[in-house]
Amino acid sequence: MTIRVVLADDHAVVRKGIRDFLEEDGDIEVIAEAGDGAKVKDFLAALRPDVAVLDIRMPQATGIEVTRWIRAEKLPIGVLILTAYDDDPFVMAALQAGANGYVLKNAEAEEIADAVRCVAQGKSVLGSEIAQKVMAQLAQAPQPPSPDNSNVLTEREREILQWAAAGLTNKGIGVKLSISDRTVQGHLASIYAKLGVTCRTEAVTKALHIGTIHLPEKPV
């Protein structure tokens, strides 16, 4: 099914570029564009898209404020923050507001399109550069004691989880390991079940704390 997207950015030229590569493969359709936070709220309330792609800095309401509004209104819309800002406060504020994903505008077009697809499926996604910041903060945060489930993961599952910590998509992990992205997805499902988590971010965070994987030094 086609993924319906509302796109918000205060620069028309940027919106056109994003729209062009999102719609290139035919499975994503940008059904409306907005140049400010107030207008995008109107579109979201009226059109109920699958995904809202929001910039951080916009007139009248920021992408973070729009995200909070979406969650407060309980709209069934996935939120992908697409911005040039990689500052820690922006990243953490967006995720705490309820954003499903955070990707930088300098990412490859394929990575951004894949992020939209992941968010549409209810998954969490972080750009490779952003993943390092989030994982570093989560790794430093105090956590309650957890049972050591590291020994239940296979060597391949540990390998996949380590690449996930580096911010790679399922497709990217598959390329690294010469397996299909569907196979990667199957391994991740097994990992979630063994670690008692429900998403990639939780799995990586738990694995970091119990020592199953280590924090990557830099983006891959």
DSSP E strands, the chain? 3-8, 28-34, 51-54, 78-83, 101-104, 125-126
Structure tokens at 86: 């990689």
Taking the domains of the chain in order of start, what are their residue ranges? 3-126, 137-210
> For the purposes of burial, counting CB atoms within 10 Å of the CB of 115, is it exposed (0-12), middle (13-18) or buried (19 or more)?
buried
Structure tokens at 12: 């028309």
Tens digit of pLDDT for each residue in 44-93?
A: 999 999 999 999 989 999 999 999 999 999 999 999 999 888 777 788 88
CATH of domain 3-126: 3.40.50.2300
pTM of the full predicted structure?
0.66
Do the domains spanning 3-126 and 137-210 agree at the CATH topology level?
no
Tens digit of pLDDT for each residue in 129-152?
A: 676 666 666 555 555 444 555 468
Tens digit of pLDDT for each residue in 6-21?
A: 999 999 999 999 999 9
**Distant-in-sequence, close-in-space partners of 182: CB < 8 Å, separation ≥ 6:** none
We find that the CATH architecture of domain 137-210 is Orthogonal Bundle (1.10)
